[in-house]
Amino acid sequence: MKIEMPTLPYATNALEPVISEQTINFHYGKHLQNYVNTLTSLVKDTEWADKSVEDIVKGAPDGPLFNNAGQVLNHALYFSQFRSPRQNNQPEGRLLEAINTSFGSFENFKAQFTQAATTLFGSGWAWLAQQEDGKLVITKEANGGNPVRQGLKPIYGLDVWEHAYYLDFQNRRADHIAASWDIVDWDVVARRLH
């Protein structure tokens, strides 16, 4: 992945009422754009200039370079994994099989993921990631952390920084997490499997 703004695969109001157009305009249009701009300036004329965002996240030391690269990668994955809300939204096929194998059932996975996202202290991300052997795991990452740092493949991530939900849910993170299940595009998530 290059350092650039990802294109939204939906209209800015398509995720309402789960994520409002106002939140998309700020979160995608301002926060992510700032991470992209900052990362671009940080890598200019350095050893990182020709590296992919994933390689920067994997190899950069903690600090501004890693933080901004992590947020560019995280948000590119985040904004591309949604679609208009649907009730009873759940994965099928190979992804559902992998979830059932790793967590016992989709409901168990949702409960464990919700627990991880709800209990992450401060700002960060909850991730569904895949190990090299195919097993799925849930990780909690502070700030701009990403499971690629542990050799895992991120396949679904939920942003629990307040800027991701505060305009729509104020301080009710758990309500945002519960509503977010309706907008996951499981086909996109499934394509991220090994």
- State yes or no: 194 annotated in a binding site: no
Average pLDDT over residues 47-64: 96
- State yes or no: 31 annotated in a binding site: no
- State yes or no: 163 annotated in a binding site: yes
What are the residue boundaries of the structural domains of the chain, listed by start? 21-79, 93-191
Residue 1 confidence (pLDDT) above 90: no
pLDDT score of 79:
97
Q: Is the omega angle on the peptide bond into residue 9 within 30 degrees of 0, that is, cis?
A: no
- State yes or no: 176 annotated in a binding site: no
Question: How is the beta sheet containing 136-142 ordered, strand by strand?
Answer: 136-142, 124-130, 153-159
Tell me the per-residue pLDDT of 117-151, one tens digit each, with 9 for 90 and over: 999 999 999 999 999 999 999 999 999 999 999 99
Q: What is the mean pLDDT of the chain?
A: 96
Tell me the per-residue pLDDT of 31-54, one tens digit each, with 9 for 90 and over: 999 999 999 999 999 999 999 999
Q: Where are the alpha helices (DSSP H) in 15-105?
A: 21-26, 33-43, 53-59, 64-79, 93-103
Does the pTM of the predicted model rise above 0.85? yes
CATH number, domain 21-79: 1.10.287.990
User: Is the CB of residue 184 less than 8 Å from the CB of residue 156?
Assistant: yes
CATH architecture assignment, domain 93-191:
3-Layer(bab) Sandwich (3.55)
For the chain, the first-to-last Cα distance in angstroms comes to 17
Give which of 80, 11, 3 is closest to 34, Cα–Cα: 3
